[in-house]
Structure 1
Amino acid sequence: MSDAIHADAAPKAVGSYPHARRVGNTLYLSGIGPRSPADNTIPGNEYFADGRLRKYDIEAQTHAVFANVRAVLDASGACWDDLVDVTVYLTDMTRDFKAYNAIWAEHFPDAASAPCRTTLGITALPTPIAIELKCVAQLKD
C-alpha cells in the first residue's frame, strides 16, 4: 500500500501526480522544480516582451528548488537527513554545474553523510526552469 502526499507549502504539480508517495518507510518525491508556491513564478527568470525566456539565474532557482524539496519532505514527515538519493536535472550543465554544486555543498557540507547524487545534463524541462530534483528518502521507524 502507498500513500500520496500533497504539500501545501510546495508549488502545485504541473501534471496529475502527487508531490510524493510513501511506500512503507520509503518516500519517493516527484520531480521538484523551483517555481514559487505563492504565485507559480520562476525565481530569477527574465522574459522578452513576447514571453520567450531572456535569461535565468541558476543560483536563485537552486535555492528555490531546495526550499521546495524541503517543503515536500516536511509535509511527508521526513527531514533533510532522510534523503538517500537525489537525481539532478540541469538544462545547461556547462554553465550551471559549478554554481549548483556550490549550493549543494552548503546544504550537504559533509560528503560522508550527504545523499547519493546523480547529475544529468538535459535539453529541456516541461516549464522554463533550469533545474529539477528527483529525490528518494528513507524514513525512520
Structure 2
Amino acid sequence: MKAGIHASTAPVAVGRYPHARRVGNLLFLSGIGPRDPLDNHVPGQQLDSDGRVLGYDIGAQTHAVMANVRAVLDASGARWQQLVDVTVFLTDMQRDFSAYNQVWAEYFPDPASAPCRTTVGIDALPTPIAIELKCIAVLDEAN
C-alpha cells in the first residue's frame, strides 16, 4: 500500500486524511467537495453575514467537484477514464438531482463507458456544501 496522496491543485482536506490512497491497482479517493482550491470559497454559493447558506447553484458546485476530482486523479497519475465507481452525496435530492444529473452527462456522455454511480440524499456534509463525491479508479500497471 502506498502512502497517502495529497494534490496541491485540490482543496485542502477538512480533516486528517489524504486526498487519495493507492492499494494495488485501485485508487481510493476521499470525499471530494466543490471548494475552490485557491481561496476555499464554494462556487455558486451565497452566504449571509453570519456565514449561513442563503442559496447555491448545484450546477456550479457539480462542475467544481468534477474539477477537484480530476485534480486528485492527475496528482495520482490516473485518468478520468479510469474511474469505475462514484458515490455522490447530495444534501437536497429533490431539488438538485436533475440539474446535477445534467452536468454529470457532460462529463460522462456515454452511459456505457461511465463509472458505476450511486447517488445518496443526506441531511448535511461536514462543511456547507451541497455535493460530495467518493470515487474509486482502477490503475494500469504503468501508473
> TM-score scaled to structure 1, two decimals?
0.98
- 1:19 offset after TM fit, Å? 0.1
How far does residue 31 in structure 1 lie from its aligned partner after superposition?
0.1
Cα offset, 1:51, TM superposition:
1.9
Measured in 2, the distance between the counterparts of 1:49 and 1:29 equals 33
Unaligned runs of 5+ in 1: none
Equivalent-residue separation in structure 2 for 1:51 and 1:132 (angstroms): 20
Q: Which 4+ stretches in 1 moved above 4 angstroms?
A: none
Q: How far apart, in 1, do the equivalents of 2:20 and 2:49 lie?
A: 36
Q: Does 2:123 correspond to 1:123?
A: yes
- CA distance in structure 1 between the aligned counterparts of 2:83 and 2:50, rounded to whole angstroms: 40
**How far did 1:3 drift?**
2.5
Say whether the 8 Å CA contact 1:61–1:131 is kept in structure 2: yes
Q: Distance in 2 between matches of 1:96 and 1:51?
A: 22
One-letter identity of the residue aligned with 2:93: M
SS of the residue aligned with 1:120? Answer: strand
Q: Residue in 2 aligned with 1:102? A: 102
Q: Which residue of 2 aligns with 1:72?
A: 72
Q: Residue type matched to 1:13 in 2? A: A
Code of the aligned partner of 1:25: N
Residue 3 of structure 1 contacts residue 23 of structure 1 at CA under 8 Å; is this kept in 2? no
Cα distance between partner residues in 2 of 1:13 and 1:48:
24
- Tell me the CA shift for residue 24 of structure 1: 1.0
Identity of aligned residues (%): 72
State the superposition RMSD in angstroms: 0.6
Cα displacement string for residues 76-100 of structure 1 (whole angstroms, at most 9, x for unaligned residues): 0000000000000000000000000
The number of residue pairs the alignment matches comes to: 141
One-letter code aligned to 1:8: S
Q: Which residue does the alignment assign to 2:86? A: 86
Q: Whole-Å Cα distance in 2 between the matches of residues 73 and 10 of structure 1?
A: 10
> In the alignment, what sits opposite 1:133?
133
The separation in 1 between residues aligned to 2:111 and 2:64, in whole angstroms, is 22
Where structure 2 has 5 or more consecutive residues not aligned to the other structure, the ranges are none
- Report the 3-state secondary structure (helix = DSSP H, G, I; strand = E; otherwise coil) of the residue aligned with 1:5: coil
TM-score, length basis structure 2: 0.97
The reply on whether 1:39 has 2:3 as its aligned counterpart is no
Looking at structure 2, the residues matched to 80 and 50 of structure 1 have their Cα atoms a distance apart, in angstroms, of 38
